[in-house]
Structure 1
Amino acid sequence: MVNGLVVTASSVLAILVLESAAAYAFSRFRFRGRGAFMGLLALGLLLPLQSYFITQNTIFTDLGLTDTRWALIVPYTAMGLPLATYLLKVYLDALPFELFEAARVDGAGDLRVFLMIVVPLLKPGLATVAIFSALTSWNEFLIYVVFNRWVVGGVTAGSLK
């Protein structure tokens, strides 16, 4: 139970931090390759979880991550990022541009606009994403089975470090 809580909390926290910044960047900045990055996120929504098990298993074995919490946190975070980024990008696109422009006129830089204006406005969206991500991470069992050894006949599975 403790391992499940640690893994779920870690992956949800990583998703919230990474995707809020990514959604802000995709929503408010125009940069080269923006469409390609959004397309890569769409692939994350389209490809099934099982399609990258072999490659992921090889990478985690080479890095020595199997039977650790990182072997669960990294895929759970990667699974949650595409949907979360799209949800918050759409949410930010609906906000008026004048709000951000007024902050710029008052002398706020990109980081200050993000921390003082965007994050407080994103709280309902972040709560929604946190609930979806926590439920997905908590209920996902297939990755746990693949990346952690089972103790046959025992109560615990794997020796998570």
Structure 2
Amino acid sequence: MAHGERLKAMTLYAILIVFLIISVLPIFWFVMVALKDAAELNSNPFALPKAITLDNIIEAWTVGKMKRYFVNSVIVAVPRVFAILVLATLAGYAFGKLKFPGRDPLFYFILIGMMVPIQAMVIPLYYTMQNLGLINTYWALIIPSLGLAMPFAIFMMRAFFRDIPDDMMDSAKIDGCGDFKTFLYIMLPLMVPAVTSLLVFEFAASWNEFLLPLLFVYEDTYRTLPLGLMYFSGEYTTNQSLVAAGVTIAVVPIIIVYVIFQRKFIEGITAGSVKG
């Protein structure tokens, strides 16, 4: 390797390491704070803990009711993400590979949903949920967010399907496969990186959803982690270790999901998914 290329590579790695530190340092710091005793945190907030304790996390999980908020977030996130994956994959296949009257106008009409800010829809959404009797229910947290997420999900899946050569569909049809069998046995296995990318995106969006739970949920029984964390932080503001423990409980599931699916996620992101 020439000297100039080596210097360029070293500079690139140095920049990447700096951005890695900037990204990871806040997460590392609040996890360390969560594992510190409150007295030690007050005396030296930026030092590593002399003795690691799980008392703050246990107290946040039990006394701070983070367990209930965690379960609520799972109840909301799992069906929402599953429904988005199923519906967006089918719709992306239809818009990307099938030919039917009005396909393109209908697709562009769906894309309008990406252009309208959610703040412009919260008032009619609230009255709709109220008229349906869904305020203070899990359905109020699942149904609107599902609809709001579909335009981007369909756009993303359609782009991936359009990158798959049409010859594969033609070969499947010659072998006697219908449209659904072609989708299920030919297309879907090739879409694993794309589906995984969408799963990570939508799980993170659902897990971090704050505005809709704030509008539709008043009872503590149905609060999700972001909303519960707001009340938790207000109640335990003076105890930063407990607040950090609550934040840790809220963030760790997203990190776990990303670590589990990171390989396919990166494949999906680098597969040219913004084409088409």
1:22 aligns with 2:91: yes
* Alignment map for 1:1-161 (pairs within 5 Å): 1-150=70-219, 156=220, 158=222
Distance (whole Å) between structure 2 residues aligned to residue 36 and residue 65 of structure 1: 33
Distance (whole Å) between structure 1 residues aligned to residue 84 and residue 186 of structure 2: 20
Structure 1 stretch displaced more, 27-36 or 133-142:
27-36
* Contact persistence 2:141–2:216 (CA under 8 A): yes
Distance (whole Å) between structure 1 residues aligned to residue 110 and residue 120 of structure 2: 15
Distance (whole Å) between structure 2 residues aligned to residue 32 and residue 97 of structure 1: 19
Q: Secondary structure at the match of 2:207?
A: helix
* 1:157 Cα offset (Å): 5.5
Counterpart residue type for residue 144 of structure 2: P
What TM-score, normalized to structure 2? 0.54
Of structures 1 and 2, the one with the larger relative CO (CA 8 A, separation 6+) is 1
* Contact persistence 1:68–1:159 (CA under 8 A): no
Counterpart residue type for residue 112 of structure 2: L
Q: Secondary structure at the match of 2:105?
A: helix
* 1:80 Cα offset (Å): 1.8
* Structure 1 gap ranges (5+): 151-155
Counterpart residue type for residue 163 of structure 2: A
Identity %: 33
* Structure 2 gap ranges (5+): 1-69, 225-276
* 1:35 Cα offset (Å): 2.3
Extract structure 1 runs of 4+ deviating beyond 6 A.
Answer: none
Bigger Cα Rg: 2
Aligned in 2, Cα 1:130/1:75: closer, same or farther, shift over 3 Å? same
1:77-117 C-alpha deviation (Å, 9 max, x unpaired): 11221111111111111111110100000000111111111
